[in-house]
């Protein structure tokens, strides 16, 4: 099991948060998603076949800017 944190800069409301959670849970291997809207922090617990690259791509494809 892996645990990663992704930070985004433009998470502004609960609707976006809910949409993001739903999308991440559709990825095989994702076990847990915890999003802090205020800080833009997304904590994800996952296992193979999910990977950090897959997860970041999904976040980016939804229109969120990832902060390194």
pLDDT above 90 for 16: yes
pLDDT of residue 53: 96
pLDDT digits (tens, 9 = 90+) for 37-64: 999 999 999 999 999 999 999 999 999 9
Distance CA 66, CA 48 (A): 22
pTM: 0.92
CB count within 10 Å of CB 22 equals 10
Distance CA 26, CA 39 (A): 23
What share of the chain has pLDDT > 90, as a percent? 99
pLDDT of residue 9: 92
The topology (CATH level 3) of 2-67 is Alpha-Beta Plaits (3.30.70)
Q: Where are the domains of the chain?
A: 2-67
DSSP-derived 3-state class of residue 2: strand
Distance CA 52, CA 56 (A): 6
pLDDT of residue 39: 94
């Amino acid at each position: 099991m892996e645990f990663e944190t992704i930070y985004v800069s433009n998470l502004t409301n609960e609707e976006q948060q809910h949409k993001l959670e739903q999308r991440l849970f559709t990825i095989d291997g994702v076990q847990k998603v915890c999003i802090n809207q205020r800080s833009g922090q997304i904590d994800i617990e996952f296992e193979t076949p999910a990977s950090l690259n897959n997860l970041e791509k999904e976040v980016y494809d939804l229109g969120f800017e990832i902060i390194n």
